[in-house]
Amino acid sequence: MTSWAGRTAVEIATAVREKRVTPREVVADHLARIERLDGRVGAFRVVRAQAALAEADEVAARGDLAELPLAGVPVAVKDNLAVRGESMRVGSAATPDTPAGQDHETVARLRAAGAVVVGLTHVPELCVFGTTDGVHGTSRNPWDPARSAGGSSGGSAAAVAAGMVPLALGNDGMGSLRIPAANCGLVTIKPGLGVVPAGIGDGDWFGLSENGPLATTVEDTRLMLAVLAGTGTPSDAGDAAAPDAGPGTLRIAVSLRSPLLGATVSKPYAAAVREAAGALIKAGHQVRRADPPYPMSLGTTALTHWAAGTAVDA
C-alpha cells in the first residue's frame, strides 16, 4: 500500500477532497513516519497522535470537505504559538506546562482550512538563537544528523524536510524561517507586515517577527501562505476546474547587496538570485536591479531590537 507521507500538501488535499483517501489514513501514515524517524531527528516536542486522528475524523465528517484548501493535510506548529489543549513552552523550562485555552489565529486558520495539527515542534530557549538546541530537545538536520536544522523554527523545518509533515508553521524575526529553510533545503517566505496575523510573544520583537510557512515546494508554500493570510480557496490547492487568476506582469526588484556593513553575499547565493531573476524575466515580468538604502547602523539597530525583544519575552 502506498504511503501518503512524503506527498505534497496539494496532492494530499486534492485526494482527500476527491475522496480517494481519508484524512485518517493520511494522518496515520504521517504519525507512523514520525514514530520511525523522530527519535533520530528530534523535530517534535509533542506528538498529538490520538488527538490528531480524532481531528482527522472530524475533518472527514465536515459538510464543506470539498471546499477545504488543506483538506486532511497534516501540519506541525512551532512551539511558540498556542494550540488549543496543549502547553506552549517556547523552548524554556521557565514557562508553565498548562494547556492553551484557544488556538493562535494562524493555527485556527489552518484548522478551518481542513489541516490537522499532528504536533508542536522544538525551538531554542525563547526562540532566541539560529539553532534549535534547548532544554526540551535538539532538532537535527534530516539530511545529516551531525548538523543543525537551524533555528529558531528548526523543529518545524526538520519535520518537513524529513517528510513527517508536508507543511509546518514557523515565524521569523531575524531569519528564524529563512535560516532553517536554507539549512534543510525548504521553501519559505517571511511575509510583509500585516499579511499574516503575528501575535508572537509579547510584542512581536517590536514588529520584527512574522508568522509564515515551511514547505518542500513553491506550490505548497503559496497554498499555506494563502490560508494564513485568509485568502485560501480550493483553487490554491491545485483544483484543475478553477480558473488560474494569475497576477499578470509584475515589477520585481533584485538586490545583491548585503544589508550589513562589511558583509558580502557569497557567490552561490548571488548565482541563485541571478538564476531566479532570469526565470522571472522569461516568465514575462519586469526585473531590474535596485538596492535598498540600508543605513550603516543597521547591524547595531538589529542587534538592539533582538536583545530588547528577548528581554521583553524573558
CA dihedral of residues 227, 280, 282, 14 (deg, nearest 10): -20
19 and 128, same structural domain? yes
Predicted local confidence at residue 77, as pLDDT: 98
How, if at all, do strands 187-188 and 44-47 pair? Answer: unpaired
308 and 217, same structural domain? no
Predicted local confidence at residue 201, as pLDDT: 86
Task: Give the number of residues written for the chain.
Answer: 314
- Residue 139's Cα: distance from chain center in Å? 15
**CA separation, residue 304 to residues 37, 64, 208, 209, 262 (Å):** 39, 48, 12, 14, 18
DSSP lists the bridge partners of residue 144 as: 141
Mean of the pLDDT values across residues 212-227? 98
43 and 149, same structural domain? yes
Residue 285 binned pLDDT confidence (cut-offs 50, 70, 90): very high
Residue 300 lies in a domain: yes
Predicted local confidence at residue 237, as pLDDT: 56
Residue 3 lies in a domain: no
**CA separation, residue 44 to residues 21, 23, 30, 148, 185 (Å):** 26, 21, 13, 15, 19
Q: Scanning the structure block, which residue is given the C-alpha cell 477545504?
A: 68
Residue 60 lies in a domain: yes
Contact 91, 125 (CB under 8 A): yes
279 and 199, same structural domain? no
User: pLDDT by residue (tens digit) across 13-68?
Assistant: 999 999 999 999 999 999 999 999 999 999 999 999 999 999 999 999 999 999 99
Angle at CA of residue 161, ends 75 and 67, nearest 5°: 30
pLDDT value at 103 more than 80: yes
How many Cβ atoms sit within 10 Å of the Cβ of residue 190?
A: 21
User: pLDDT by residue (tens digit) across 59-69?
Assistant: 999 999 999 99
261 and 148, same structural domain? no
Q: How many domains does the chain have?
A: 2
pLDDT value at 1 more than 50: yes
Mean of the pLDDT values across residues 71-75? 98
How confident is the prediction for the chain on average, in pLDDT?
94
Residue 246 lies in a domain: no
Q: What is the span of the domain harbouring residue 139?
A: 9-237
pTM score: 0.93
Alpha carbons 10 and 261: distance in angstroms, whole number: 41
- % of the chain beyond a pLDDT of 70: 95
Predicted local confidence at residue 24, as pLDDT: 98
133 and 203, same structural domain? yes
* Residues with Cβ within 8 Å of residue 23, at least 6 apart in sequence: 16, 56, 57, 59, 60, 71, 72, 114, 116
Which of 237, 271, 297 is the last residue in one of the domains?
237
229 and 260, same structural domain? no
170 and 148, same structural domain? yes
Residue 266 lies in a domain: yes
Task: Compare 190 and 302 and report the one with higher pLDDT.
Answer: 190
130 and 269, same structural domain? no
Predicted local confidence at residue 291, as pLDDT: 94
Alpha carbons 9 and 57: distance in angstroms, whole number: 18
User: pLDDT by residue (tens digit) across 231-271?
Assistant: 876 666 554 334 344 568 999 999 999 998 889 999 999 99
Active site residues per annotation: 78, 152, 176
- % of the chain beyond a pLDDT of 90: 89
228 and 266, same structural domain? no
307 and 214, same structural domain? no
144 and 95, same structural domain? yes
Residue 168 lies in a domain: yes
CA dihedral of residues 51, 57, 63, 68 (deg, nearest 10): 70
- Residue 11's Cα: distance from chain center in Å? 18
Residue 161 lies in a domain: yes
Mean of the pLDDT values across residues 171-180? 96
